[in-house]
Structure 1
Amino acid sequence: MKEITTREEEVMRHFWSAGALFVKQIVDMYPDPKPHFNTISTYVRSLEEKGYLNHEALGTTFRYFPVISEEEYKKGNLGNVIKKYFDSSYLNVVSTFIREDKISVDEVKRLLEEVEKQSKE
């Protein structure tokens, strides 16, 4: 799936929290000054082209809905970051966290316990 911009992700968050929406409803969710309808419509169409949204026609308008959950997006996004910055190695990720003191020895031990538990199941 293609990567999305920060603004597109912002729009997706509205869909993930509310479900199916019309573009006008998304515009109304923003605080003042609200973005222009055409701007949000462009983001929505782009998200649909990238495979994140689909739509249903209701009269002369479209109601859009997400076709990927936030959880699926997070997993895919995390995978892309690991592939791009850590040579597709989860070990490199954990090693980096250890070197930069972002994860404690106790947390590493808990992680190992979880891995061992998963391998037994």
Structure 2
Amino acid sequence: MEKQLTKAEEQFMQVLWELEEASVQDIIDQLSKPKPAYNTVSTIIRILETKNFVGHKAKGRGYIYFPLVKKTDYSNQSLNKLVDGYFGGSFKSMVSFFVNKNDVDLNELETILDAINDKKQKK
């Protein structure tokens, strides 16, 4: 999976990841106002199918759509692309950037370090 999603595609995938399966109308119902037109959502869902992010099954006269890509897999790929593209592949540089630019709270930093240490111990 190397494909990136547009903002709209990612928004619809977030809904599908949450619902696990949905019709076009179900997706529209989950979106905030102003809601996109039915045809717009349908078109983007078909694009997601061609990118192999979404599959479908027939239900009555319509389709029920479901994610083919796990949210964690997409998140990992997106994070790796961010780290590679903006921080020269260095996770340390990314963390340093966020600590310096976003005034990360010491408790948050300790929580992050604890999570990293837990992961190291489980390996």
- Tell me which interval the TM-score lies in, with the shorter structure as reference length: 0.7 to 0.9
Q: What's 2:101 paired with?
A: 100
In the alignment, what sits opposite 1:34? 35
**Within 5 A, what are the aligned runs for 1:1-121?**
1=1, 2-30=3-31, 33-100=34-101, 102-103=103-104, 111-112=112-113, 115-116=116-117, 118-121=119-122
Q: Distance in 2 between matches of 1:59 and 1:73?
A: 31
Structure 1 residues 23 and 86, CA gap change in structure 2 (3 angstroms): same
Q: Secondary structure at the residue paired with 2:36?
A: coil
How far apart in 2 are the matches of 1:101 and 1:118?
A: 25
Shift of 1:114: 5.0
By how many angstroms is 1:42 displaced?
A: 0.9
Gaps of 5+ in 1: none
Separation in 1 of the partners of 2:8 and 2:44? Answer: 8
Q: Report the more deviating stretch, 43-52 or 95-104.
A: 95-104
Could you tell me which amino acid in structure 2 is paired with residue 85 of structure 1?
Y
Q: Summarize the Cα distance change of 1:116–1:21 in structure 2 as closer, same or farther, 3 Å threshold.
A: closer
Structure with bigger gyration radius? 1
**Percent identical:** 31
What is the rounded CA distance, in whole Å, between the counterparts of 2:110 and 2:31 in structure 1? 44
CA RMSD in angstroms comes to 2.7
- Equivalent-residue separation in structure 2 for 1:30 and 1:113 (angstroms): 36
- Call closer, same or farther: CA 1:110–1:21 in 2, change over 3 Å: closer
Aligned residue type for 1:10:
Q
Q: TM-score, normalised by structure 1?
A: 0.76
Give the Å deviation of 1:105. Answer: 5.9
Q: 1:65 is paired with a residue of what secondary structure?
A: strand
Distance 1:37 1:116, change over 3 A: closer
**Which residue type is aligned with residue 73 of structure 1?**
Y
In structure 2, relative to structure 1, the CA distance for the partners of 1:120 and 1:71 (3 Å cut) is closer
